[in-house]
C-alpha cells in the first residue's frame, strides 16, 4: 500500500545542463507571477478530450472511443484502417511524450531533445543501427497489410499532432519549449517498427552474463566462476516442456508428465543437466574463452574492454528493465478440466522496469462487425507508439508472454589493422557509414560506424575500449594483438525480420494452428508464448517457443569469442535466411497430460546429446526455476485439494510472496548461537515465520537483510571491482599480474558497477549458488577477513552467517530504528515511480511534478510476486509485475486486469496513477469485452469523424 503518494525530490549527479537552465526558466516564470498559469493551464492543457466529437483526417467512417472510469479506451470501427488510425490518435492523446522520447531513443536522437548529455547514448545506439534495421524491415520484410496498418496508425498520430506543440501536448513538452523551441516532427511507420528493437534490446539474453564472466576471469579461477554459474537444477525445477524430441526436422511433443502431482520426465536427477555446448559442436568448457583466447590470469585487456562496455550498457535507457536484473515474467494456463469455469484460465504478469507511465497501455480494438474488411475484435495490453495488441485475447483465443532468454547475442574480439580487420588469415575491409548526431543548442557531432562480418564495432564508442594495452588475453596461436582488440556485437535483432507481422496475426488468430503460424513470425525478441482457447468441452491450452535463435559453430556463447577464427562464426551470415534453429524444431506442446503449462523464465527444455535431450543450443543461462516451480507446486496443490482452480485462485497465486531462499536458510540461522542480546532479539523474529514476504512483516525485513549481508561477505567482497557497486571501497591485493601473485601490494579498490547491475544481485542464480554451498561448511567462499579488532575473520559457514546476522541487525537499526516492533519489509522495500526522462534526471521541481511514491511492497526477488531488488545496492524495488491479467475463456467479460500506473501519461490527470494502489494490493479490475459489458462500464464516449 502507499506509504506516501508523492516522493520527495531526489537529486541526481550529472544533471543535464539544459535541464538546469529549464528549472531557472520555471523559477523565473514563478517569480513573475506565472506560477498559477503553469500550475493550471500548463498542466491541464494537454488533457485529452474524451467526450463529444472530433474530426480526424483520413477516416472513412466514424470511430467510437468508449472509456471507463479508469480512462481505458475501447475503440469501435467499421474497417481495419480506421481502427488503427484511431488507435494512433488515442495513444497520442494519452501518451505522446512517452512515444516521442521512445522514437528519439530508438533512432539515437535523444540529443536533439535533451542536449549534449545524451551524445554517448545516441552514438552507441547509432552504432547498433536500430533505425536502419527497422527501415529495412519496413521496406523489404513486412507484409503489405502490415504496412497499411502502420501507415494508418501513423496518420492517426499525426492527426492528433496537427496544430499542437508545447503545453498542448504535455507538461514535458511545455518544459522543453520554454528552454528551446522544440516542436515534434511527424510520426512515421518506421517509428513504430523501431520500438521492437528497444524491446529486443532489454530482452536480449545473456549478454550481461557474458560480460560478467569475462570480468570475473581476471580475479577468479574457472572453477570458481563455475561455482557462481551452476547448471540448471533439472532434478528439482521442471522445464517448460518435458519429454519431447526432434524427429525428421520437426519437434515432436509428448504429454508424459503423468498429471497433477507427478514429476515423471522432469529430467536428470543429478542436477547437472547437459553441457549444451556440445549440441552445436562447441568445444569449450563452461567458462573458458574459446580455444585460442586465454581465460586465465591477468586478462587486463579483456577486463578493460568488458568494464568499458558494462559502463556503456549502464547508460543506455532501459525501457523495459535494468541491466543485470534478469528480466523475467510469469505466465501459466490451466486446462478447463481443472478450472471451476470448465474452460481454460490464463494468467500473465511480465516483470519489467517500474516507470511512469507504465510501459503498457490497456485498450480494446473492436470491429462493429467482423468481416474481410474489418478483421479484429481484440483487447489487451498495447505499447504506445505501436499498433495492435501485444498481450491479451480476442473472441476465440488468449495468449501471454514471458522472456524465453535465448542466447541471441555474442561478443567477438576483433584484430583491427589500418586497412581493415583480420578474418581467416585475411584482412577484410570494414563496412562503414557516417552518422551525424544533432545536439540541441550546440554543433552537431559526426561519428563513423565500422562493421565486421560479426557485427558493428561497439568498442568504437569508447576511448577505453579502443586500445586494450599490452596484456590482451591471447595465446600464441592468436594473431598479433598490435594495440589490442576491438569488440563486435553479433545480435539477431540487427537482421531485419517480421515480428510486426506476428502482432497482427496473433490478434486475429482463431485456433492453435493460427497461433503457431503467427509465432513463426515472432522472430525478435524470443518469447515464451502460451495459449488458450474456448473450443470443445474444456477448451485447449498450448505453448510455443518462437524466435530467431542462432546456430553457432564452435563455442557456446558464454564468453567472448575470437572474431578472426571462422570456426566461431554463426552459421548464418548477416541478412541471410539460414543459420537459425528452424522454427519446426523449436519446442511446443498442446494439451499436455498434466493439464497446465507454466512459463516463468525457467529452462524451456533439457538440452544435450543424450537420449531424451533436446539437440539444439538455446542458452546455457536460464533462470533457475524458483518462481516456475513454486507456481507448478501451487497449481498441483490446489488441484489435489479441491480439484478445481478459480479466477481468484489465479489472482492469489500471482501475489504469492513465499521465499525459497528463506525456506532453505532460516532453519540454519535459527540454530546459530548468538550472544549479543540485540542480535538474538532479531533472530527470534525468524522463529515460526512462514517465509512469506508480506509488506508488514518484520521477519521478512530481517531475513532479507541477513541474506544481503551473507551475499556481501561470501561473494561481494570477492568480486572484481568492475562488478561491485559503485562507491564500495576496500583494501585488496593488487592482482594485475595474476590472481595467484602472493607478493602483490595492498591497494585501495572501489567498485565501478551501477546499482541496477552490480553483483551479487541476489536473484535465483544466487539461490542456487548458496544451495549448493551450504552443505560444505568449510568452503573457501565462507572466509571473510576480520572487520575490526573485535570482529574476527570467518572460516566456516556458521561463522559467516553469525556475522551476517549481526551486520543485518545494525543495518536495520540504522534504517528502521532500534525498536523491532516498528520494522517491516515494506518500509525497506519501496516502489517509487519515476518519469523516465525529466522525472529521473531533471530539476527537483519537475521531479516533484512528475514522480509519485513511495508504495510499501511485499514480495521480492525470485518470488511469484516478483518485486525485484538488487542485494548489492539496497532494498528498493528495481523491477515489478508491470501488469497482471487473468483471462477467463468461459466468459471473457469475467476476465480481470490491472496496470502498474494508469492509462494517462499526463501528470495530475485522474488516470495518471489511479491503478497503482490497487496493483500494490493485488487487486484486479473488471475487464469488459463484449459490447454490452463495455457499454455498461463506459463513462465517456468520444466520436471520431471523417
CB 454 within 8 A of CB 434: no
Backbone φ and ψ of 774, nearest 5°:
-65, -20
* Average pLDDT value over all residues in the chain: 85
Q: What is the pLDDT of residues 573-592, one digit of tens each?
A: 655 556 889 999 999 999 99
pLDDT of 248 over the 80 cut: yes
pLDDT of residue 742: 53
pLDDT of 475 > 90? The answer is: no
Pick the most confident of 38-42, 190-194, 482-486.
190-194
User: In terms of Cα–Cα distance, which of 681, 703, 677, 707 is closest to 690?
Assistant: 703
φ, ψ for residue 682, nearest 5 deg: -70, -40
Instruction: Tell which wins on pLDDT, 598 or 278.
Output: 598
The confidence band for 28, taking pLDDT boundaries of 50, 70 and 90, is very low
Q: Do β-strands 426-428 and 540-544 pair in parallel, antiparallel, or remain unpaired?
A: unpaired
- Of 9-18, 139-148, 763-772, 847-856, which gets the smallest average pLDDT? 9-18
pLDDT of 564: 92
- pLDDT over threshold 70, residue 204: no
pLDDT at 733 over 80: no
pLDDT: is 7 or 556 the higher one? 556
Three-class DSSP category at 328: coil
Predicted local distance difference test score (pLDDT) of residue 275:
32
Share of the chain above pLDDT 90, in %: 63
Q: What is the predicted pLDDT for the residue at 201?
A: 74
Give CA torsion, residues 839, 845, 849, 851, to 10 deg.
40
Task: Using the predicted structure, report yes or no on whether residue 479 has a pLDDT greater than 60.
Answer: no
pLDDT band at residue 15 under the 50/70/90 scheme: very low
Mean pLDDT of 329-345: 97
Flag whether pLDDT at 57 surpasses 80. Answer: yes
Within 13 A of 234's CA, how many CA atoms are on the CB side? 25
In degrees rounded to 5, what are phi and psi of residue 20? -65, -45
pLDDT tens per residue, range 625-659: 999 999 999 999 999 998 899 999 999 999 999 99
pLDDT value for 23: 42
pLDDT surpassing 50 at residue 22? no
The pLDDT value recorded for residue 471 is 30
> What's the pLDDT at 216?
84
pLDDT: is 135 or 255 the higher one?
135
Beta strands in 795-851 (DSSP E): 830-833
Going by C-beta distance under 8 Å and a sequence separation of 6 or more, which residues neighbour residue 780?
none
Average pLDDT on 57-67 reads 98
Beta bridge partners of 919: none
Whether residue 749 is predicted with pLDDT greater than 90 in this model: the reply is no
Q: What is the mean pLDDT of residues 895-904?
A: 98
Contacts of 245 by beta carbon, 8 Å cutoff, 6+ apart? 251, 252, 254, 612, 614
- pLDDT computed for residue 757 by the predictor: 84
pLDDT band at 179 (very low <50, low <70, confident <90, very high): low
The helix (H) or strand (E) run that includes residue 119 is helix 119-128
At residue 327 the predicted structure's pLDDT band, cuts being 50, 70 and 90, is low
| pLDDT at residue 305 tops 70 | no
- Which of 214, 251, 337 is closest to 644 using CA atoms? 337
Average pLDDT over residues 341-358: 95
- pLDDT confidence tier of residue 177, bands split at 50, 70 and 90: confident
Q: Residue 20's CB: how many other CB atoms inside 10 A?
A: 12
Residue-level pLDDT at 462: 66
Q: What mean pLDDT do residues 310-333 have?
A: 61
Residues 212, 217, 218, CA angle at the centre, nearest 5°? 110
Backbone angles phi, psi at 156, to 5 degrees: -65, -45
Q: What is the mean pLDDT of residues 375-399?
A: 98
pLDDT recorded at residue 610: 74
pLDDT at residue number 620? 87
Query: Comparing 503-507, 832-836, 914-918, which segment has the lowest mean pLDDT?
Result: 832-836
pLDDT greater than 50 at residue 268:
no
In the chain, count of helices (H) and strands (E)? 28, 32
- Which residues make Cβ contacts (< 8 Å) with residue 317, sequence separation at least 6? 105, 110, 121, 836
Question: Among 216, 87, 102, 219, which Cα is nearest to 154's?
Answer: 87
pLDDT for residue 244 is more than 90? no
pLDDT at res. 627: 96
Distance between alpha carbon 692 and the CA centroid of its chain, in Å?
25
Q: Residue 355 pLDDT more than 70?
A: yes
* 756 — pLDDT class (breaks 50, 70, 90): confident
pLDDT at 555: 81
Question: Radius of gyration over alpha carbons of the chain, in Å?
Answer: 27
Question: What is the model's pLDDT at position 291?
Answer: 40
pLDDT band at 709 (very low <50, low <70, confident <90, very high): very high
Secondary structure in 3-state letters for 481-544: CCCCEEEEEEEHHHCCCCHHHHHHHHHCCCCHHHHHHHHHHCCCCCEEEEEEECCCCCCEEEEE
Q: Is 809 helix (H, G, I), strand (E, B) or coil?
A: helix
Q: What is the pLDDT of residues 187-199, one digit of tens each?
A: 999 999 998 887 7
DSSP 758-807: -S---SHHHHHHHHHHTT-TT-GGG-B---SSSS--B-SHHHHHHHHHHH
Higher pLDDT, residue 879 or 812? 812
Task: Please report the pLDDT score of residue 1 as a whole number.
Answer: 52
> pLDDT class for 744, splitting at 50, 70, 90?
low
Give the pLDDT band (50/70/90) at residue 838. Answer: confident
pLDDT range class, residue 686, cuts 50, 70, 90: very high
Higher per-residue pLDDT: 487 or 745? 487
Residue 40 CB partners (closer than 8 Å, separation 6+): none
Confidence of residue 524 (pLDDT cuts 50, 70, 90): confident
Amino acid at each position: 500500500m502507499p506509504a506516501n503518494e508523492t516522493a520527495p525530490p531526489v537529486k541526481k549527479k550529472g544533471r543535464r545542463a539544459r535541464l538546469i537552465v529549464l528549472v531557472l526558466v520555471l523559477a523565473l516564470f514563478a517569480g513573475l507571477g506565472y506560477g498559477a498559469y503553469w500550475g493550471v493551464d500548463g498542466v491541464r492543457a494537454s488533457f485529452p478530450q474524451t467526450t463529444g466529437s472530433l474530426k480526424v483526417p483520413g477516416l472513412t467512417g466514424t470511430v467510437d472511443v468508449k472509456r471507463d472510469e479508469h480512462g481505458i479506451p475501447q475503440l469501435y470501427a467499421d474497417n481495419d484502417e480506421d481502427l488503427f488510425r484511431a488507435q494512433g490518435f488515442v495513444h497520442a492523446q494519452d501518451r505522446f511524450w512517452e512515444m516521442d522520447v521512445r522514437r528519439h531513443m530508438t533512432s539515437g536522437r535523444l540529443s536533439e531533445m535533451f542536449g549534449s548529455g545524451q551524445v554517448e547514448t545516441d552514438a552507441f545506439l547509432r552504432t547498433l543501427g536500430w533505425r536502419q534495421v527497422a527501415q529495412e524491415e519496413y521496406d523489404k520484410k513486412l507484409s503489405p497489410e502490415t504496412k497499411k496498418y502502420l501507415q494508418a496508425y501513423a496518420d492517426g498520430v499525426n492527426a492528433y499532432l496537427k496544430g499542437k506543440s508545447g503545453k498542448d501536448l504535455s507538461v514535458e513538452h511545455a518544459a522543453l519549449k520554454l528552454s528551446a523551441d522544440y516542436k515534434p516532427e511527424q510520426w512515421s511507420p518506421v517509428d513504430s517498427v523501431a520500438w521492437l528493437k528497444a524491446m529486443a534490446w532489454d530482452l536480449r539474453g545473456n549478454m550481461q552474463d557474458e560480460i560478467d564472466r569475462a570480468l570475473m576471469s581476471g580475479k577468479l579461477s574457472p572453477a570458481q566462476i563455475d561455482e557462481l554459474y551452476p547448471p540448471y537444477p533439472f532434478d528439482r525445477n521442471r522445464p517448460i516442456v518435458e519429454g519431447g524430441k526432434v524427429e525428421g526436422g520437426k519437434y515432436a511433443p509428448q504429454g508424459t508428465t503423468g498429471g497433477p502431482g507427478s514429476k515423471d520426465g522432469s529430467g536428470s536427477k543429478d542436477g547437472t543437466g547437459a553441457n549444451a555446448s556440445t549440441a552445436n559442436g562447441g568445444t569449450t568448457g563452461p567458462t573458458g574463452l574459446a580455444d585460442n583466447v586465454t581465460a586465465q590470469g591477468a586478462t587486463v585487456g579483456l577486463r578493460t574492454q568488458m568494464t568499458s562496455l558494462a559502463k556503456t550498457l549502464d547508460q543506455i535507457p532501459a525501457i523495459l528493465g535494468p541491466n543485470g536484473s534478469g528480466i523475467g515474467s510469469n505466465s501459466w494456463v490451466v486446462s478447463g478440466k481443472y478450472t471451476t469455469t470448465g474452460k481454460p484460465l490464463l494468467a500473465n504478469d511480465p516483470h519489467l522496469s517500474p516507470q511512469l507511465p507504465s510501459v503498457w497501455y490497456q485498450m480494446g480494438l473492436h470491429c462493429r462487425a467482423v468481416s474481410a474488411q474489418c478483421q479484429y475484435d481484440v483487447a489487451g495490453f498495447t505499447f504506445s507508439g505501436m499498433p495492435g495488441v501485444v498481450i491479451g485475447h480476442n473472441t476465440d483465443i488468449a495468449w501471454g508472454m514471458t522472456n524465453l532468454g535465448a542466447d541471441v547475442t555474442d561478443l567477438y574480439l576483433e584484430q583491427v589493422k589500418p586497412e581493415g580487420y583480420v578474418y581467416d588469415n585475411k584482412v577484410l575491409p570494414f563496412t562503414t557509414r557516417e552518422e551525424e548526431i544533432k545536439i540541441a543548442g550546440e554543433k552537431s557531432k559526426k561519428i563513423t560506424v565500422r562493421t565486421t562480418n560479426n557485427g558493428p564495432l561497439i568498442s568504437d564508442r569508447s576511448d577505453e575500449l579502443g586500445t586494450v594495452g599490452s596484456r590482451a588475453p591471447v595465446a600464441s596461436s592468436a594473431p598479433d594483438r598490435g594495440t589490442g582488440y576491438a569488440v563486435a556485437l553479433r545480435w539477431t535483432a540487427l537482421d531485419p525480420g517480421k515480428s510486426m507481422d506476428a502482432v497482427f496475426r496473433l490478434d486475429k488468430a482463431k485456433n492453435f494452428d493460427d497461433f503457431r503460424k503467427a509465432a513463426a513470425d515472432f522472430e525478435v525478441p524470443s518469447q515464451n508464448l502460451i495459449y488458450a482457447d474456448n473450443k470443445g468441452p474444456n477448451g485447449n491450452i498450448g505453448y510455443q517457443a518462437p524466435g530467431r535463435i542462432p546456430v553457432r559453430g564452435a563455442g557456446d556463447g558464454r564468453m567472448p569469442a575470437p572474431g578472426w577464427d571462422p570456426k566461431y562464426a554463426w552459421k548464418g551470415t548477416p541478412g541471410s535466411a539460414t543459420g537459425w534453429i528452424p522454427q519446426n524444431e523449436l519446442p511446443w506442446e498442446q494439451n499436455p497430460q498434466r493439464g497446465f503449462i507454466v512459463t516463468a523464465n525457467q529452462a524451456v527444455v533439457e538440452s544435450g546429446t543424450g537420449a531424451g535431450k533436446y539437440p539444439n543450443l538455446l542458452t546455457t543461462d536460464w533462470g533457475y526455476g524458483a518462481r516456475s516451480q513454486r507456481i507448478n507446486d501451487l497449481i498441483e496443490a490446489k488441484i489435489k485439494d479441491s480439484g478445481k482452480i478459480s479466477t481468484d485462485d489465479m489472482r492469489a497465486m500471482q501475489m504469492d510472496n513465499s521465499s525459497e531462499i528463506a525456506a532453505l536458510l532460516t532453519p540454519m540461522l535459527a540454530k546459530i548461537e548468538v550472544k549479543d542480546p540485540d542480535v538474538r532479539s532479531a533472530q527470534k523474529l525468524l522463529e515460526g515465520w512462514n517465509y512469506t514476504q508480506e509488506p508488514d512483516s518484520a521477519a521478512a525485513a530481517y531475513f532479507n537483510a541477513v541474506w544481503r549481508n551473507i551475499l556481501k561477505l561470501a561473494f561481494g567482497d570477492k568480486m572484481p571491482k568492475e562488478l561491485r557497486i559503485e562507491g564500495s571501497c576496500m583494501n585488496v591485493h593488487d592482482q594485475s599480474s595474476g590472481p595467484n601473485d602472493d607478493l602483490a601490494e595492498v591497494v585501495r579498490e572501489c567498485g565501478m558497477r551501477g546499482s541496477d547491475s552490480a553483483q551479487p544481485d541476489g536473484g535465483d542464480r544466487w539461490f542456487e549458488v548458496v544451495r549448493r554451498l551450504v552443505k560444505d561448511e568449510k568452503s573457501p567462499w565462507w572466509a571473510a577477513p576480520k572487520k575490526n579488532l573485535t570482529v574476527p575473520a570467518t572460516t566456516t559457514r556458521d561463522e559467516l552467517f553469525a556475522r551476517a546476522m549481526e551486520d543485518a541487525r545494525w543495518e536495520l537499526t540504522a534504517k528502521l530504528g532500534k525498536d523491532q516492533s516498528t520494522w517491516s519489509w515494506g518500509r525497506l522495500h519501496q516502489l517509487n515511480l519515476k518519469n523516465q526522462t525529466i522525472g529521473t534526471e531533471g530539476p527537483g521541481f519537475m521531479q516533484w511534478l512528475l514522480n509519485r511514491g513511495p508504495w510499501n511492497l511485499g514480495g521480492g526477488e525470485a518470488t511469484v510476486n516478483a518485486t525485484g531488488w538488487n542485494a548489492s545496492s539496497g532494498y528498493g524495488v528495481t523491477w515489478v509485475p508491470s501488469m497482471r491479467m487473468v483471462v477467463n475463456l468461459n466468459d471473457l467479460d469475467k476476465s480481470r486486469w490491472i496496470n502498474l500506473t494508469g492509462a494517462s501519461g499526463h501528470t495530475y490527470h485522474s488516470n495518471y496513477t489511479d491503478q497503482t494502489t490497487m496493483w500494490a494490493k493485488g487487486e484486479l479490475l473488471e475487464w469488459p469485452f463484449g459490447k454490452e459489458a463495455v457499454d455498461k462500464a463506459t463513462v465517456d464516449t468520444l466520436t471520431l469523424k471523417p
